[in-house]
Amino acid sequence: MPAADGFLRYVRFSQDRAESTTEAYARSIVLFLRWCALLGLDWRSAAGHLGAFMLWLRHAPASATAGWVSPGPGAKPVRGPRRINRILIAVRGLLVFAAGAGDVPSSVVSQIYEIADTRDLPPEAAGSDSGLHYRLRARHRVKEPQSNVDRASDEEAVGMLRACASARDLFLIIVMARAGLRRSQTVGLHREDLHFLVDSGALGCDFPGPHLHVVRRRNINGAWSKSRDSHIVPVDRLVVQAHDQYVFERRALIGDDLSDFVFVNLFREPVGSPMRPDAINDLTTALSKRAGLSRVIKPHMLRHCFGSNVADAGGELDVIQALLGHRSPFSAKPYLHPSRQRLRDAVERVGSPRLTTGATR
């Protein structure tokens, strides 16, 4: 439909959002429009029924043919709170965009947002000004349980490395676990981004030692860096050695190919074409099973492994922020998973009351 198409173009090009983000928004909007069609509702006036839409999302499968649901006691939800909230974000965006374009009445905005103050916001979101401010708060939202993304342990990462059947897969896992790159950033790397010399001055780069550049660009494989700003990540000798082994393997299998992408297909068609982001999930799932791990390691868990290891090694929050490519230091906090030994060491460093007061008893 024209309104949804216009909104998705706005998200993709005017807001410079990732292709994967635009796709997720499109899937969410499809669910909303399908629900409206099943109930015979005009999407332009359905904002007053979002509560019923939330119930439908919770219990109606993707293949649902009815606009209503009748869940019994203890019915297992089809979609969790986080997924429902993400769908609602896209729907609210569509309705607000349509209101601005005059496709829906402006009163729709008041049906999806209410006036709230900043007292319930965390300090970093409320700002440094101590005054009371007002904002728009979404009326429809499911409470999400507090759960952090788990990190891959060092043992799990090593197990995956040992299970790699090719130098390319070994280098790919090392880049995510030792440089903290997201999956799209990994398969979005170009050869020109790798500065693995001791001195890269000849390349016009004055950053010391081996490192790689994370650059946001449009790639033909759909890879898109979430970080808007380019940033540099230093790498160690393990990354450099893994890269050298991969270069020899790649040259032996496909010769001197002209692709500027670092990670290309070597064992499936089309050979030599850049790997897609979803191929990373397939690889980490296969390696987890091949390594005999008790759970499937997802790509982002390797990024958390990197952030936590930097913290355990004494890295400050601003350092972790820069390495992960975050604009705000608060964005790096979810990546901190203190090891048990670091928690123990912190307690041991605290002086006892006896020593502090000079008491002898």
Query: pLDDT tens, 34-74?
Result: 999 999 999 999 999 999 999 999 999 888 888 888 777 77
User: pLDDT band at 345, cuts 50/70/90?
Assistant: confident
Mean pLDDT of 310-317: 85
Query: pLDDT tens, 120-179?
Result: 655 555 555 555 566 688 899 998 876 666 889 999 999 999 999 999 999 999 999 999
Instruction: Give the pairing of strands 113-117 and 134-138.
Output: antiparallel
Residue 135: both structure tokens together: 């904002």
Residue 151: both structure tokens together: 């990190």
Who contacts 186 (Cβ-Cβ below 8 Å, separation ≥6)? 172, 175, 176, 223, 263, 280, 299
- Residue written as tokens 């399908």? 34
pLDDT score at 339: 67
Burial 274-285 (b: 16+ CB within 10 A, else e): bbbbebbeebbe
User: d(Cα 193, Cα 186) in Å, to the nearest integer?
Assistant: 11
Identify the weakest region by mean pLDDT among 10-19, 236-245, 290-299: 10-19
Residue 102: both structure tokens together: 């005059």
Query: pLDDT tens, 212-271?
Result: 999 999 899 989 888 778 999 999 999 999 999 999 999 999 998 989 999 999 999 999
Burial 311-332 (b: 16+ CB within 10 A, else e): bbeebeeeebbbbbbbeeeeeb
Mean pLDDT of 18-44: 93
Which candidate, 49, 54, 45, places its Cα nearest to that of 108?
A: 45
- Cis check: omega of the bond before 81, within 30 degrees of 0: no
3-state class of 272 per DSSP? Answer: coil
Q: Is the pLDDT of residue 117 over 80?
A: no
Mean pLDDT of 310-321: 85
